[in-house]
A and B are shown apart, each in its own frame.
Chain A
Amino acid sequence: MALTDHCDIFASVHEQSFNNIVLQLQAQRPSLFNYGTMTFASHPELLCNQTIIKRIDPEVEVGVFDNPVVSEQPLLAIPGYSGPFGLEYCLQLAELSIDFHPSNVHTLPAALAPPLPEQRFSLKGRACAGLNCPSTDLLIKLAPNERAFSPVIDTGTHRQPARDPAGNPPKDAPLVTQTPTRPFPFNREGIICFCLDLFAVLHLEREGSAAAPIISLRLDNLEIVDIEPVRLENAVECFLKTILIMSVLPKVKLALNALILSVGKVLTIGPTPISAAVPFNPAIENDQIKVFVSLTV
């Protein structure tokens, strides 16, 4: 059977291609995947997930061309504290991969009811974050020496000042009034790391009228693995699902008419219409995404 039995031009991309491109991006543009404050930026070896860092091979490519491994971020401000100190942290997108039906790249969690249904694909992302936690002694040492609170008993003859005598901000002031400029002394043993695995099952759907068809991305389900307690996990998943369905995915729509190219007003190149022979276009099957294109003179 020919690849173009039901179309004029056929194109397919295997899931391995997408996943290899992500690996190349991680190795050659690591700053797209690693974020951190100044110490993490200058010492990528302190980042939580070292698998992605080892893939970079900084001695030969990124290193030679002096490209950043980590995108430097400002210090994390401490709510309610107005001073120069801020916390150091790092955030990494350690893994991003795709698995077209049938499922053989990802081991889907039970909550997503494996195996992957037909015409579906799954995305897996692993996000790792780390916080450099200063010791309690250090925190006590560096904590601001605030004046003691002196309660003022209102006897009816005294008006409450806008700012209390201790110099504390009024109650409606912002929680952080000063951008932190100094990190706490870095404590290598104090780095607290954690990683979260996120799985999402999606599919492509045709909608719109026959004259103006649209391809949209639909979320079937989403799962964050192993957050405790379970109700917290459910709440976070619900929140993410709401963001995706209400905010992100409605923007990921492709008007198929926009893909119809007219060459010199004599040749039209566009997606092959859905039919019994081509029930899905694009089709997600055999670990590939397949696109069928037709030419009309």
Chain B
Amino acid sequence: MATVTVAVNERAFNDIVMAAAKYLESVPPFSGSGSFGPFSAGYTIGFKLTGGSIDLTSTGRVHFDELHVTYDPLILTLGLDLPHIQFGGECIIPNPFGGCILRLPEVDLFGANPDISIPINLSNTIVSEFSGEFTVSNSKQVLVAKGSLRPHAAHITTDTSNEIRDRFRTIVGTIPFLPASAVNSIADALVPFVKTNLADKWQFFLRDVWHDLELISISDTAVNILQNLSDRFIDAILAPVPSAVRGIIKVMLIPIFDALAAVLDFGDDALEWLSSQLQISFGLFDLLAQLVINFVGLMVPFYQFENPYPMIEDSSGLIPVLVPIENVAVVVNDDEFVASADIV
């Protein structure tokens, strides 16, 4: 039996998703603009997590199920700044004693900036969707360069060997047709994320089993457009009716829109199911992203800690207290995510 155990259940993961949703709602929208000669463009964008859940599966995977990000507000503003034109104002009756008695009217054209501004309001319309399954694995890194160094010596000795670099170069080198210079550059860029001292390390790796990222989810975006139109229609034709009644009618229509979204999303759901079965992402972008994530994930752990673990760090010249941790394991089952270890 493990001597230290931490378990987190599915409900906690979903609470974290809900908390993230609430947090996103409290974040003020981002704004920005840019000019390109006479043209300009601006945006105001905010994010809302409007759906989705996390499931823990009996296959040991963490399943992100259709996390929906709705962009609200999303206002794009396109502008055109025409050349400033000014004419008139000339004096037609001069004053012989100085100044002017009568002038032509002054006309100022295109003085604003920009002169033409077209706001495009896509708030609460466009939806991105993310689904995917991930696994977590762990292993212990023991460097050959450590040799016979005792734990305290390894803890304070910086790794100056090329062991990790060479290992990464070998892994990156398996990519066909990649020139040697590119292999070295990619491998060398990843080394600083892992290389520290000569102590052994428990490393945790993330594997992307499959994922499906739709930057614009057709089904949800289409349903949002329909729902927005429907809301406006109800507001227009039932204007004399109290707003509470209109609200009830709108709420009554929500299940219809949800059903419509489900029907429109059927193709996507089928692909996700197939992805899950075949453990591969569909679509060029997703497939490439999966390959990149897994390739980097093969080398760079998302978390690592030293073994023995420095429980009490150096103080006034005393050696740190290093506590050996063995049998580290991460298990995902239907109910919970369990991490365990032995303090020996």
Contacts and interface: CB of A to CB of B under 8 A. Distances in A.
Interface residues of B, number: 40
Nearest to A293: B12
Contacts of B321: 24-25, 28-29
Interface string B324-336: 1000000001011
A4 B8 contact: yes
Contact of A16 (B8, B320, B322, B343): B343
Interface string B19-56: 11011001000000000000000000000000000000
A28 B323 CA distance: 10
A3 interface: yes
Interface string B299-326: 0000000000001100001111111100
B19 A20 contact: no
B129 to A, nearest CB: 22
Contact of B12 (A5, A8, A13, A65): A8
Contact of B322 (A14, A20, A24, A267): A24
A14 B1 contact: yes
A20 B343 contact: yes
Contacts of A9: 6-9, 12
Contacts of B322: 24, 28
Nearest to A66: B317
A265 B19 CA distance: 9
B7 A4 contact: yes
B338 interface: yes
Interface stretch (A56-64, A104-112, A133-141): A56-64
A256 B9 CA distance: 22
A21 B323 contact: yes
Interface string A66-107: 010000000000000000000000000000000000000000
Contacts of A12: 4-5
B7 A13 contact: no
B interface, over-half SS: mixed
Interface string A256-297: 000000011111000000000000000000000000000111
B318 A67 contact: yes
B11 interface: yes
Given A21-B343, A28-B319, A29-B318, A295 B15 contact: yes
Given A4-B335, A24-B321, A62-B319, A10 B6 contact: yes
B160 interface: no
B249 interface: no
A181 to B, nearest CB: 25
A17 interface: yes
A4 B12 contact: yes
A236 interface: no
Contact of B15 (A3, A21, A29, A297): A297
Contacts of A245: none
B183 interface: no
B318 A20 contact: no
A192 interface: no
B87 to A, nearest CB: 58
A238 interface: no
B3 interface: yes
B56 to A, nearest CB: 10
Given A2-B9, A9-B6, A67 B319 contact: yes
A231 B153 CA distance: 52
Contacts of B292: none
B152 A17 contact: no
A176 interface: no
Contacts of B333: 2
A64 B151 CA distance: 12
A61 B15 contact: no
A242 B257 CA distance: 71
A143 interface: no
A227 interface: no
B311 A14 contact: no
A65 B316 CA distance: 12
Contacts of A24: 311, 321-324
Nearest to A286: B1
B14 to A, nearest CB: 9
Contacts of B101: none
A11 B7 CA distance: 6
B260 interface: no
B16 A295 contact: yes
A68 B312 CA distance: 16
A17 B7 contact: no
8 contacts: A2-B333, A4-B336, A8-B11, A10-B6, A11-B5, A24-B323, A29-B318, A64-B153
